[in-house]
Amino acid sequence: MQSWRRKSVWLALSASWLLLVLLGGFSLLRLALPPRPRPRAPQGWPRWLDADLLQSFSQPGELPEDAAQPPRAPHGGSCNWGSCFDTSKCRGDGLKVFVYPAAGPISETHRKILASIEDSRFHTFSPAGACLLLLLSLDAQTGECSSMPLQWNRGRNHLVLRLHPASCPRTFQLGQAMVAEASPTVDSFRAGFDVALPFLPEAHPLRGGAPGQLRQHSPQRGVALLALEEERGGWRTAGSNSSACPWDGRCEQDPGPGQTQRWEMLPNATFCLISGHRPQAASRFLQALQAGCIPVLLSPRWELPFSEVIDWTKAAIIADERLLLQVLAALQEMSPAQVLALRQQTQFLWDAYFSSVEKVIHTTLEVIQDRIFGTSAHPSLLWNSPPGALLALSTFSTSPQDFPFYHLQQGSRPEGRFSALIWVGASGQPPLKLIQAVAGSQHCAQILVLWSNERPLPSRWTETAVPLTVIDGCRKVSDRFFPYSTIRTDAILSLDARSSLSTSEVDFAFVVWQSFPERMVGFLTSSHFWDEAHGGWGYTAERTNEFSMVLTMAAFYHRYYHTLFTHSLPKALRTLADEAPTCVDVLMNFLVAAVTKLPPIKVPYGKQRQEAAPLVPGGPDTGPKLQAPDPNCINQIAAAFGHMPLRSSRLRLDPVLFKDPVSVQRKKYRSLEKP
Amino acid sequence: MCASVKYNIRGPALIPRMKTKHRIYYITLFSIVLLGLIATGMFQFWPHSIESSNDWNVEKRSVRDVPVVRLPADSPIPERGDLSCRMHTCFDVYRCGFNPKNKIKVYIYALKKYVDDFGVPVSNTISREYNELLTAISDSDYYTDDISRACLFVPSIDVLNQNTLRIKETAQALAQLSRWDRGTNHLLFNMLPGGPPDYNTALDVPRDRALLAGGGFSTWTYRQGYDVSIPVYSPLSAEVDLPEKGPGPRRYFLLSSQVGLHPEYREDVEALQVKHGESVLVLDKCTNLSEGVLSVRKRCHKHQVFDYPQVLQEATFCVVLRGAQLGQAVLSDVLQAGCVPVVIADSYILPFSEVLDWKRASVVVPEEKMSDVYSILQSIPQRQIEEMQRQVRARRENWLAWGSQAWVTQKTGPSRNQPLIINDRIYPYAAISYEEWNDPPAVKWGSVSNPLFLPLIPPQSQGFTAIVLTYDRVESLFRVITEVSKVPSLSKLLVVWNNQNKNPPEDSLWPKIRVPLKVVRTAENKLSNRFFPYDEIETEAVLAIDDDIIMLTSDELQFGYEVWREFPDRLVGYPGRLHLWDHEMNKWKYESEWTNEVSMVLTGAAFYHKYFNYLYTYKMPGDIKNWVDAHMNCEDIAMNFLVANVTGKAVIKVTPRKKFKCPECTAIDGLSLDQTHMVERSECINKFASVFGTMPLKVVEHRADPVLYKDDFPEKLKSFPNIGSL
C-alpha cells in the first residue's frame, strides 16, 4: 500500500520535473537565441498622453468677422452659374428659349436643331421674353460661323451651341455666355456652367432615332469580352481568354480561330475599351452606348456628355490608363450582377438622351432648366433610371413616389383608390347607369364628369356614395387628358359616357392596374400593323390574337399621363387629335408606349357580345365624332414620334379562377363570367 | 535551476527514511515544482508582455517630446499648387499597385516639431482635431505603417488653419518629407484657408502636386476630380449633444444664427425679418451677457437670449451665409441640429460634393437672390421639406457626424471619406454607388432594385432551354421530352440526371427530337442541381420542367414562353400556389386549394430568366440552399422567394387550372398531397421568411390567358386554341 503510494508520488514528481526541465530549457534556449523578428501589428498613430490638452485648430471667437469690403469671390475672367446667369428673366414660365435665325444657307444638322427647338415647349419667338438666347455655332467648313448677334449683351444668358469640337474660330469674345460643346476637354470645361454634349455623327436622326442594339438583358453566351477600337472607325473584338494580349498588339500576328473579328459599325462585345483623344474617343463612346457595350474609358481627358446630371458610374467604367492590366483583370472578374446593371444602363441612357438630335437638344435645355429651378429640379433618380428626365417632368412633382415609375425603387405603392373621369361627348346624355356602376366599386374615390357638349348642364345628378364633380369643359377632345387639379388620386379610370361597365369589371381592372401602375389597363383593344399595300401603318379594332392599344373610353392609367399629354406632346399633335377625334386614342397609346416601351394590358370585358358594337369605333350607331380607324392619323403620329413605339401583347389578364370548372360561389369576380 | 533538478533526481532514495517529515517534505517539494512551473509559464509569456509594454511606452509619449527638426532658411520651397492637376496627370497610380481588395494604403508621417534657424516653431505642433483625424485614419483599414507600400501619404504637419502657421516655413517643412517628390500622392487637410485681406479659397502654402482636402473651396480653386471638399469642423456641435428631431414643421421657418456677418448681409437678413415677422429669426452676438457665461454658446435677438446651437433645432431652414471664408463652421452646426441649410455662398463647393447630392439636403440660393430667399423657400412643397429634413438627418448620422466620437470610431465620420473618395477614383469598378452615399437607410431597406430593370421584350427567335430534372423515371422522362420537343420555340433540351447510382440510358434509346439534347450528370442528388447555371444554357429563357409533367400541351408551353417574353423578370408558371397568414397559429401557411389569388408558381413547370439560376446558386441568402438540399423539398418556394425579393414583383400564373399529378412531390416518389406534405411546405415558408427577414412574396388576383381565351370566336383563328383542355 505504502510502496504503491510512494511509487505514484515519485512518478508524479519526476513527471512534473521533466515538464519543468522541458519548459525551462525551451525558455533558456529562447533567451540564448537572438529574438526573431515577429510579424508585428502595424504601429498606428501614437495615442498621445496629452491628447486631451491639445488645442483646437481654431477658437470660435477667432474667426474673422470684418472683411473690409463685401466679400465677393474673385471672378478672374471665368464664369459660374451664380455670377454669370441672370435667372430673374426666367420667372413665371420657366425656361423660354429664343434661337437666333441663321444668316445664310443652313446645313442639315443646323436645320434639325432648329426644328427640334422650335417644336419644343421651351421655344419662344421673342428675344425680349426669352430667358435663354441660343446661338448655333456650327462647322467652319460650311461657312456658317455666326457673327456677334444683336442682343449679345456681353453674352449674358446666352448659350453657344457647338455640336462639333473643331468649330468656328472665335470671331468674338464669349464673355459671359455658356458653351454647350461636344465632348469638351476637362481643362476648358466649367462645371455647372457649360454643358457637355455628346459627339453626334453627321447622319444622326432628328427624331426617334435608332433604338439600342440590346435585345436581351444578359450578354449572349460566347460573345467577346472586349472590343477594341480600330484605326479606321471599326471595332475589333477579342476573345475572352486573351483579354490582355490585344493591348500590346501581339495577337494580331496570331489571330486564333474566331479570336479577332472585324466589325464595321457597332461593337458586339461586353466591354468596349476606349482610349485616345476626342473627337474619336467621344464618337466611339456613343457607338458603344448604342450597342449596349459597356464603355471602359481610359483616362478620358474630355468631359462625359451631360455629366452634370447623368451618373456615368452606373453605365461606364472610367479607369486610369496606367492601371490597364488591373482594369482588364477587374473586368474579367466583374460579377454578372454588375455587368447586367451596366449593360442595361447604357441602353437606357442611349434611348433616353442620345438616340436623336431632338433628345440631345431637349436634354441640354432640361439641364439648364434644372439649374434655374433649383430645389424643384429633377432629383438624380429621375435622371438616372427609366424612363429618364425628359419623360418624367419635374413640373409634375419632384417626389419620385408621385410618378408611376419608381414605386419599386422607393419601396412605395400606388394609392389604393381611383378617380373616374367620364367624358360626355356629343350624345349629351348623363351617363347615370355608368355612374352607378363605377360608384359601386369599393376603390372609387371620386367621379368627375367632363361635360363637353352644347347642351346645358343637367341640374340634377344621381345620388352617389362618392363625391361627384361636374367640369364644364371646352369642346376639344384633347381636354379629356388635361391634368385637372380636381383629380386627387394616382389612378384615373377614363370613360366615355356611352361605355358600359359592371362594378366587378372595374374592381378587377383596378386591382390589375395596381400591379402595373405605369401601364394602361383597358377593356377594349385595337392593334397596329404595317400595311404593305400602302407602305404605311394602319390599325384595326377587330378582334385579333394580339393587340397594341387599349381604347381610352374605358381604361385605367396613372394621372401623370395627363400632365405628360398636355405639357410634353408637341402642340401639332394635340391639334391633330382635336381635329380627328379617333386619333386621341392612338396618340395616348403612343405616348404611354414611348414612355414604358411596353404594351398595354387587357382585362376581360364581360358584355362584349351584346354591347361591344357601339363601343368599338366604326360601329353602327356611333356619333359624328367616332369614325372608322384613320390610317392617316397613325402615320402622322408615327412621323412625329420618329419611330413606332407601340408594342404588341398576346395575353389578357383574367381573374385566377376565370371560367375554371369550379363552383361559381368560390370565385371572387363571378359576374365577369356571365354570358 | 539546473542544480535543483540534479538534486531532485537523486532525491528519491532519501524519502523512505524520513517517514515523519515526508508529508511536509512532499508539500515543500510540490510547492517548489509548482513554483518552477509557474515561473516557467511566466517565462513563456514574459518576453511578449515586456515587448508589448515597451510598445505601450513608445505610444504613450507626450506631444511635447517629439523630435525637433531645424529648417535652414534656404531649404527648398515647393512650387505653388498646380491648378491643372488631375488624377491622371499628377497622381502616381503605380504606387497604389494592384491590391486584390481594391483598397489603397495610407501612410502617416511621424510627428515632428519644425523650428526655423532661430528655434522659433513653424506652427503649432498639432491641433486636437488633426490628431483625432490622423488617429481615425490610422485605425481604418486604409492605414499602413510601411512607407514603401503606401499609395497615399499624409504629412503630420498640421495645416488645418492657415492663420496658425508660417506659410513659407511650412512649405519648406513639407518639401523635406522623405517621400515628398513634388507632393505626388500627398494629401493635406485644411479647413480654414486664406488670410486677410483677400482670403483665398484654398490653402496658400505652396504644395506643388499635393492633393488638398479643403473646407471652403470655390469653383475657381477646386480641381474637379482631384481635390476633395470637406466641411469645416465646428467644436461647438461636437461638445453639445443635440437630441434627434423628426421631420415636420418647426417654430421658426427661417433662422440666421451667424455672428460677424458683413454689414451688408446683416442688413439683408434683417430686412427679411422685418418683412416676414415672426417666422424669421435673426440672431446676433450678445452684448449684455454677465461675466462667466460662455458667449459662444449664446445668441441674442434684441434682448432675448437663446442657447446656441440648441436654437437651430427650432427652425426649418437655417441660413449659411459666406463670410470672409466660403466654408463656414455653422454648416456643421446646422446639420447637426437637423435644420435644412440654406447655403448663400456663390461658387462654394459643398463638402464631398463629388459624391454627396446636396440638392436633396440643402437649398442653394445665389447671393444676388438673397432678398427672395423667403419666397424661394415658401415655394418648396411641405413633402419635399420633410424629405430634406430626413436627408439632413441621414447625412448627420452617416457622413458628417463631426462629434469627437465619430472621429475616433472611424466607422462613420469624414476622415473615412477622404481615402474612400480617392479610393473610388483609383478603383472605379469597386466604387460605392450614388445610392449608397445618398439614400437614407429607410429608403434602402424598402427599395428594390430590379436586376432586369430595362423594359425589353426579348426576341422570339431566341427561344428557350428546357431543363428536365430526373432521377430514374425514364419512361415518363421520355414522354416529357417528346411533348416538350413539339413546342416551336424550344431551342435546346437539357436533362439533369440526378441519379449517381445509375447511368442514363444509351444515346440510341433517347427519343429523336429536332433540337439538341444534352444530358448533364450531377455529382450529388441535390434539388438545387435544377437551378444550377449550366454553361449549356444559351438562351435567356429557361423552362424548368419535372420529368412527370406530361399534361401540358404544346400550345400551353408556347404561350407560356410568349408570356415570359412580356415579363422577362418574373417567374411565369403553370400551377399556382398561395401563402396565407394563419391568425390562430400566428405564422405563415401554405395553400394549394383553388383560390382567387396566387403568390407562387411551382417550378415543376415554369419559365424564368437564367440569371435567377446564378442568383439561386451563388446569392441565395442564409442557409436556404443547404436547407433545401437537406430536406429534399421546397426548392420551388425558395426560388419564388428569391425572385420576388430581388424584383419586388409578383409571379405570373399562365392558363387555367389543370389537374396536375401532384406536381409538388418531385423529390419523394409516391408521396401524396397529404397533411404532412402541407405542413412541411408551410414550414418552408416560415423558415424562408425568417431568413429573408421579410415576406417578399406578392399576392395577385390575375393570371395570363391568350387574348381570345374562351371568347366567342372561331377556334381555328385563335393562336393558342389548345389551352385549358384536360
Question: How confident is the model over A117-144, as pLDDT tens digits?
Answer: 888 888 888 888 888 988 887 554 444 4
Taking the alpha carbons of A69, A73, A75, A79 in that order, is the dihedral positive or negative? negative
Mean residue pLDDT of chain A comes to: 81
Maximum CA extent, chain A = 130
* Beta bridge pairs of residue A294: A271
The number of folded domains in chain A is 3
Q: By mean pLDDT, which of A87-91, A492-496, B514-518 is the weakest? A: A87-91
Maximum CA extent, chain B = 121
Same domain, A632 and A489: yes
Q: Which cell numbers in the block locate residue A42?
A: 502595424
Same domain, A498 and A633: yes
Same domain, A179 and A269: no
Tell me, what's the pLDDT at A505? 93
Q: How far is A336 from chain B (nearest CA, A)?
A: 8
**Separation CA A602–CA A522 (nearest Å):** 5
- Residue in A272, A299, A275 with CA at minimum distance from that of residue A288: A272
Question: Do the chains contact at B359 and A375, CB–CB below 8 Å?
Answer: yes
A461 located within any domain: yes
* Beta bridge pairs of residue A540: A527
**Separation CA B33–CA B5 (nearest Å):** 10
Confidence check: pLDDT of A247 > 50: no
In B116-262 the beta strands, taken as DSSP E runs, fall at 152-154, 187-190, 211-214, 228-229, 252-256
φ and ψ of A364, to 5 deg: -55, -50
The CATH class of B462-704 is alpha beta
Tell me, what's the pLDDT at A197? 92
Q: By mean pLDDT, which of A437-446, A536-545, B14-23, B350-359 is the weakest? A: B14-23
From chain B, pick out residues whose CB is under 8 angstroms from the CB of A608. Answer: 711-712
CA distances from B128 to A327, B58, B65, B408 (A): 40, 20, 16, 12
Q: Label residue A483 exposed, middle or buried (CB < 10 Å: 0-12, 13-18, 19+).
A: middle
State which amino acid sits at residue A418.
F
- Exposure class string for A423-454: b at 16+ Cβ within 10 A, else e: bbbbeeebbeebbebbbbbebbbbbbbbbbbe
User: Any residues with CB less than 8 A from the CB of B144 and at least 6 apart, and which?
Assistant: A42, B105, B106, B107, B150
Q: Does A658 touch chain B (CB under 8 A)?
A: yes
From chain A, pick out residues whose CB is under 8 angstroms from the CB of B225. Answer: 186
> What angle do the packed helices A631-641 and A583-596 form, to 10 degrees?
30
User: Any residues with CB less than 8 A from the CB of B125 and at least 6 apart, and which?
Assistant: B63, B64, B66, B111, B113, B158
Please give the residue that has the higher pLDDT: either A109 or B167.
B167
Residues of A known to be catalytic:
585
Same domain, A162 and A214: no
Tell me, what's the pLDDT at B50? 38
State which amino acid sits at residue A583.
C
User: Is residue A365 within 8 Å of A120, Cβ to Cβ?
Assistant: yes
Q: By mean pLDDT, which of A133-142, B503-512, B517-526 is the weakest? A: A133-142
**Separation CA B371–CA B364 (nearest Å):** 14
Q: How far is A459 from chain B (nearest CA, A)?
A: 37
Tell me, what's the pLDDT at B399? 52
Please give the residue that has the higher pLDDT: either B709 or A623.
B709
SS3 for A168-196 is CCCCCCCCCCEEEEECCECCCCCCCCCEE
Q: Where are the alpha helices (H) located in A225-313, listed in sequence order?
A: 245-248, 280-291
Tell me which chain A residue has its CA closest to the CA of residue B361. Answer: A375
Question: Do the chains contact at A48 and B218, CB–CB below 8 Å?
Answer: no
Q: Does A65 touch chain B (CB under 8 A)?
A: yes
User: Is residue A419 within 8 Å of A446, Cβ to Cβ?
Assistant: yes
Three-state DSSP class for A106? coil
Question: Do the chains contact at B324 and A61, CB–CB below 8 Å?
Answer: no
DSSP B57: H
* Beta bridge pairs of residue A236: A228, A262
CA distances from B174 to A20, B183, B184, B190, B594 (A): 57, 8, 12, 14, 79
A218 located within any domain: yes
Confidence check: pLDDT of A328 > 60: yes
Q: What is the pLDDT of residues B38-73, one digit of tens each?
A: 544 444 443 343 334 444 444 567 888 888 888 888
Tell me, what's the pLDDT at B670? 42
φ and ψ of A612, to 5 deg: -65, -35
Confidence check: pLDDT of B667 > 90: no
Tell me, what's the pLDDT at B671? 42
CA atoms lying within 13 Å on the CB side of residue A310: 28
A185 located within any domain: yes
Tell me, what's the pLDDT at B726? 59
- Residue in A284, A265, A38, A306 with CA at minimum distance from that of residue A181: A306
User: Any residues with CB less than 8 A from the CB of A144 and at least 6 apart, and which?
Assistant: A102, A103, A104, A106, A107, A110, A136, A137, A138, A168
Q: Where are the alpha helices (H) located in A189-300, listed in sequence order?
A: 245-248, 280-291
**What is the domain partition of chain B in residue ranges?**
68-233, 235-287+294-403, 462-704
State which amino acid sits at residue A230.
E
User: Any residues with CB less than 8 A from the CB of A307 and at least 6 apart, and which?
Assistant: A196
CA distances from B229 to A58, A651, B135 (A): 19, 54, 20
**Separation CA A550–CA A586 (nearest Å):** 9
SS3 for A477-514 is HHHHHCCCCCCCCCEEEEEECCCCCCHHHHHHHHHHHH
Tell me, what's the pLDDT at B397? 65
Q: Label residue B196 exposed, middle or buried (CB < 10 Å: 0-12, 13-18, 19+).
A: exposed
| Cα A126–chain centre separation | 32
**Separation CA A597–CA A614 (nearest Å):** 30
- Mode of pairing for the β-strands spanning A97-99 and A132-136: parallel
Sheet with strand B363-364: strands edge to edge: B280-282, B252-256, B315-321, B340-344, B363-364
Same domain, A365 and A350: no
Tell me, what's the pLDDT at A376? 84
Q: Does B191 touch chain A (CB under 8 A)?
A: yes
Confidence check: pLDDT of B336 > 80: yes
Q: Which of A187, A307, A314, A651 to mutate to test the interface with B (most CBs of B within 10 A)?
A: A651
- Residue in A49, A32, A483 with CA at minimum distance from that of residue B62: A49
Same domain, A459 and A539: yes
DSSP B506: P
Confidence check: pLDDT of A389 > 90: yes
Percent of chain B predicted with pLDDT > 90: 35
Q: Which of A26, A29, A48, A367 to mutate to test the interface with B (most CBs of B within 10 A)?
A: A48
Nearest to A217 among B5, B323, B452 (CB): B452
DSSP B654: B
**Separation CA B346–CA A82 (nearest Å):** 6
Mean residue pLDDT of chain B comes to: 82
Task: Give this prediction's pTM.
Answer: 0.85
Tell me, what's the pLDDT at A326? 81
Tell me, what's the pLDDT at A649? 96
Nearest to B462 among A216, A327, A412 (CB): A216
Q: Does B438 touch chain A (CB under 8 A)?
A: yes
Q: Does B186 touch chain A (CB under 8 A)?
A: no
User: Rounded mean pLDDT of B375-402?
Assistant: 78
Confidence check: pLDDT of A266 > 70: yes
CATH number of B235-287+294-403: 3.40.50
Among A52-56, A444-448, B1-5, which range has the highest average pLDDT?
A444-448
Q: pLDDT band at residue A450, thresholds of 50, 70 and 90?
A: very high
CATH of the domain at A446: 3.90.550.10
Q: Does B93 touch chain A (CB under 8 A)?
A: yes
Tell me, what's the pLDDT at A141? 47
Nearest to B428 among A191, A319, A546 (CB): A319
From chain A, pick out residues whose CB is under 8 angstroms from the CB of B325. Answer: 63-64
CA distances from A49 to B58, B61, B62, B116 (A): 11, 6, 5, 26
From chain B, pick out residues whose CB is under 8 angstroms from the CB of A78. Answer: 219-220
Nearest to B455 among A70, A597, A653 (CB): A597
Cell 410634353 locates to: A568
SS3 for B377-443 is HHCCCHHHHHHHHHHHHHHHHHCCCCCHHHHHHCCCCHHHHHHHHHHHHHCHHHCCCHHHHHCCHHH
User: Is residue A293 within 8 Å of A237, Cβ to Cβ?
Assistant: no
Tell me which chain B residue has its CA closest to the CA of residue A661. Answer: B657
From chain B, pick out residues whose CB is under 8 angstroms from the CB of A56. Answer: 127-129, 235
| Domain hosting residue A223, numbered range | 210-239+264-355
From chain A, pick out residues whose CB is under 8 angstroms from the CB of B357. Answer: 380
**Separation CA A204–CA A53 (nearest Å):** 67
Other C-beta atoms closer than 10 Å to the C-beta of A222 total 9
- Residue in A468, A495, A461, A491 with CA at minimum distance from that of residue A480: A495
- Exposure class string for B621-633: b at 16+ Cβ within 10 A, else e: eeebbebbbeeeb
Cell 483665398 locates to: B200
A649 located within any domain: no
Same domain, A313 and A429: no
Q: By mean pLDDT, which of A45-59, A359-373, B339-353, B364-378 is the weakest? A: A45-59
Residue that terminates a domain, selected from A335, A370, A405: A370
Same domain, A351 and A363: no
* Beta bridge pairs of residue A33: none
Please give the residue that has the higher pLDDT: either A583 or B668.
A583
Cell 505514484 locates to: A8
Q: Does A89 touch chain B (CB under 8 A)?
A: no
Same domain, A365 and A346: no
Percent of chain B predicted with pLDDT > 70: 83
Q: pLDDT band at residue A494, thresholds of 50, 70 and 90?
A: very high
Q: Which cell numbers in the block locate residue A530?
A: 404595317
Confidence check: pLDDT of B14 > 50: no
A21 located within any domain: no
Same domain, A287 and A344: yes
Confidence check: pLDDT of A30 > 80: no
**Separation CA A651–CA B457 (nearest Å):** 14
- Exposure class string for B391-427: b at 16+ Cβ within 10 A, else e: bbbbbbebbbbbbbebbeebebbbbbbbbbbbbbbbb
A70 located within any domain: no
Tell me, what's the pLDDT at B600? 95
Tell me, what's the pLDDT at B8? 42
**Separation CA A353–CA A232 (nearest Å):** 27
CA atoms lying within 13 Å on the CB side of residue B482: 12
Tell me, what's the pLDDT at B43? 42
CA atoms lying within 13 Å on the CB side of residue B441: 7
Tell me, what's the pLDDT at B367? 83
- Residue in B557, B483, B497, B505 with CA at minimum distance from that of residue B529: B497
Q: Which of B40, B163, B383 to mutate to test the interface with A (most CBs of A within 10 A)?
A: B40
Question: Do the chains contact at A651 and B706, CB–CB below 8 Å?
Answer: yes
